């Protein structure tokens, strides 16, 4: 099942150092401009080839983020088809994160 989480919920998870895998599925150039600390980059363009290098536990909580939420939903749907069960799509992506005034790294 894929759940939608908002930026407040993600910020809380990061601040509380909750145990989850945080994936940014944007492309390298987008990542270089700005990314959320704690995320691991797996570009959607290479997601099918590379996801297994980071995602090994199919029951682990996973949060996926992109620019606005569309690509991350595609990544979540792909992971669901591969048997991953605890999937969370960041609503509004990094755009919503920045609009909320939360920090990014360049």
In this prediction, residue 71 carries a pLDDT of 98
Tell me: pLDDT of 39 over 90. yes
Contact partners, residue 33, CB within 8 Å, separation at least 6? 106
pLDDT attached to residue 1 = 87
Taking residues 3-24, report their average pLDDT. 98
Count of CB atoms situated within 10 Å of the CB of 99? 10
Query: Please, what are the domains in the chain?
Result: 2-99 (3.40.250.10)
pTM of the model: 0.96
What's the whole-number mean pLDDT along residues 24-50? Answer: 97
- Mean per-residue pLDDT of the chain: 97
Q: Are 44 and 64 within 8 A, CB to CB?
A: no
């Amino acid at each position: 099942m894929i759940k939608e989480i908002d930026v407040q919920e993600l910020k809380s998870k990061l601040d509380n150092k909750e145990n989850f895998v945080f994936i940014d599925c944007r492309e390298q150039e987008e990542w270089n401009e700005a990314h959320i600390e704690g995320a691991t980059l797996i570009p959607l363009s290479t997601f099918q080839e590379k996801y297994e290098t980071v995602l090994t536990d199919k029951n682990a909580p996973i949060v996926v983020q992109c620019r606005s939420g569309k690509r991350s939903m595609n990544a979540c749907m792909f992971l669901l088809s591969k048997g991953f069960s605890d999937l969370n799509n960041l609503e509004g992506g990094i755009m919503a994160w920045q609009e909320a005034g939360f920090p990014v790294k360049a």
